[in-house]
Amino acid sequence: MTWVTGADGSPYGVTNLPYGVFRTDGGQPRIGVRIGSWVLDLAAAEAADLVLAAGTLCRPTLNDFMALGRPQWTAVRQRITELLTDPAHRAAVEPLLVPLEGVELLLPIEVADYVDFYSSEHHASNVGQIFRPGQPPLLPNWKHLPIGYHGRAGTVVVSGTPVVRPTGQRPSADGPVTGPSVRLDIEAEVGFVVGVPSPMGQRVAVDDFADHVFGVVLVNDWSARDIQAWEYQPLGPFLGKSFATSVSAWVTPLDALGDAFVPAPDQDPPVVDYLRDVPHLGLDLRLVVEWNGEQVSEPPFATMYWTPAQQLAHLTVNGASLRTGDLYASGTVSGPDRSQVGSFLELTWGGAEPVKVGDETRTFLADGDTVTITATAPGPDGTTIALGEVTGTVRPAV
């Protein structure tokens, strides 16, 4: 129970407590934690010695706090929980609560590197059938390693940032043409934020996942399918992906998701040693995709073939270092049914099967369209935890 007005029973209650960065009236960025429809100003709390985190909560991003490591993350979370549940602290803490409706939410981390994986068997199979009809949907290496590519950290933006339709080369019957993408799409994903770095030349084992990963965000990896189709062979995605990646304003700490870990799908053939995680666990996150306010899909993250721990181990198996603020995303989350896909490429089967969105018919995104991705996870004692939403509206090409 919390003494904070309206927070009991909220999916942003004391079992959640996601971190973010906010400002009011155009002021300086400040770290806060969400409780119900309020933001607890952690910068002010640390300045008043109510929370101790080596001064890192007075910074403009979460990076310095995340670099402290899991013992400090857990200690600060326990202290925040105490402040928000013990009525003895109410007089000191209540003045530090800011109404959510009065804040501007900012990008919570300074993104160091960004990696995007391709970890849903259902998504990979669907895309294989759409792009390579008549051939095996999965390439021979897919079940042996988590496929991924390096994205562009500088175009990771906070939820609510408008997305300008990208321009680039796309194929036509007469050869490539340059112009705005006409097959603009989304990818509903889950992202993992690295707190503790690792030195170059050192692998990170699957068992060390929780020692390095601070928390989870929702991700929309906007995709220009026509630009992507022309450029992706032989080296993979580039301009079709690098123009914008939207992430939640709130980072849900791993400590909040203890009840959401569930057995991941069986892997056949058996994986190589460095990818063998025991227990083999994924996360029961239930995503919802809305297109112009209409629900069009419910992707289930629990069906992902490759787990977050395996992705982290693979990312570093060659000795690549981790940096505080690294973001790696799961790849598109899709389930076995059409109603569970995480991209409009799949929802409309490559544009061949248009869908109704409100009173209009769509294959891919039109200017002015808004996409919002939300997610929930099971919490303790039958409660529900919400992840911060990620939303964006398409603006015309420039």
CB burial of 222-258 (b: ≥16 within 10 Å; e: otherwise) equals bbbbbbbebbbeeeebebbbbbbbbbbbbbbbbbbbe
User: Do 315 and 388 belong to one domain?
Assistant: yes
| Parallel/antiparallel/unpaired status of strands 245-247 and 213-220 | antiparallel
Q: What is the pLDDT of residues 255-314, one digit of tens each?
A: 999 999 999 999 999 999 999 999 999 999 999 999 999 999 999 999 999 999 999 999
Which tokens go with 383?
A: 């409660």
What is the domain count for the chain?
2
Residues in binding site for Mg(2+): 221, 241, 245
Looking at the fold, whether 80 and 132 belong to one and the same domain comes out as no
Mean of all residue pLDDT scores within the chain: 97
User: Residue 221 is part of a domain; what is its CATH number?
Assistant: 3.90.850.10
The answer, yes or no, to whether residue 323 has pLDDT greater than 90, is: yes
Last residue of a domain, one of 106, 126, 159: 106
For residues 102 and 117, state if they share a domain. no
* Residues 142 and 285 placed together within one structural domain of the fold: yes
pLDDT digits (tens, 9 = 90+) for 139-187: 999 999 999 999 999 999 999 999 999 999 999 999 999 999 999 999 9
- Residue 35's pLDDT is what? 98
Residues 101, 173 within the same domain: no
Positive/negative CA dihedral, 241, 115, 256, 189:
positive
Q: Which of 89, 106, 123 is the last residue of a domain?
A: 106
* pLDDT tens-place string over residues 114-141: 999 999 999 999 999 998 899 999 999 9
Q: Where are the alpha helices (DSSP H) in 117-165?
A: 121-131
Q: How confident is the model at residue 233 (pLDDT cuts 50, 70, 90)?
A: confident
**24 and 152 within one domain:** no
The reply to whether 102 and 208 lie within a common domain is: no
Q: Percentage of the chain surpassing pLDDT 90? A: 97
Q: In whole angstroms, how large is the CA radius of gyration of the chain? A: 21
Residue 236: what pLDDT?
87
For the chain, what percent of residues have pLDDT higher than 70? 100
What are the structure tokens assigned to 48, written together?
């008043």
Annotated active-site residue in 123, 150, 280, 314: 123
User: Using an 8 Å Cβ cutoff, are 383 and 16 in contact?
Assistant: no
Q: Per the annotation, where are the binding residues? A: 116, 118, 132, 187, 189, 221, 228, 232, 241, 245, 332
Active site (annotated) includes residue 280? no
259/165 same-domain check: yes
Region 334-351: mean pLDDT is 98
Give the DSSP letter string of 206-221: GGGHHHHEEEEEEEE-
Res. 325: pLDDT tops 90: yes
**Among 159, 41, 38, 42, which Cα is nearest to 105's?**
159
Residues 147 and 270 in one domain: yes
Look up the CATH number of the domain holding residue 27.
2.30.30.230
Q: Can you tell me whether residue 248 is helix, strand or coil?
A: coil
Q: Of 45, 78, 106, which residue sits at a domain end? A: 106
Same domain, 175 and 261: yes
Check whether residue 311 and residue 243 sit in a common domain: yes
Strand partners, 220: 188, 246
Query: The tokens 């321009």 sit on which residue?
Result: 167
| Range 74-82 average pLDDT | 98
22 has pLDDT over 90: yes
At residue 252, the pLDDT reads: 98
Where in the sequence is the domain holding 61, given as residue range(s)? 19-106
Size of the chain, expressed as the number of residues it contains: 398
Which residue, 254, 92, 376, 385, is CA-closest to 84? 92
Cα separation values, 375 from 11, 44, 351, 364, 388, Å: 11, 30, 26, 22, 8
Looking at the structure, tell me whether residues 79 and 118 fall in a common domain.
no
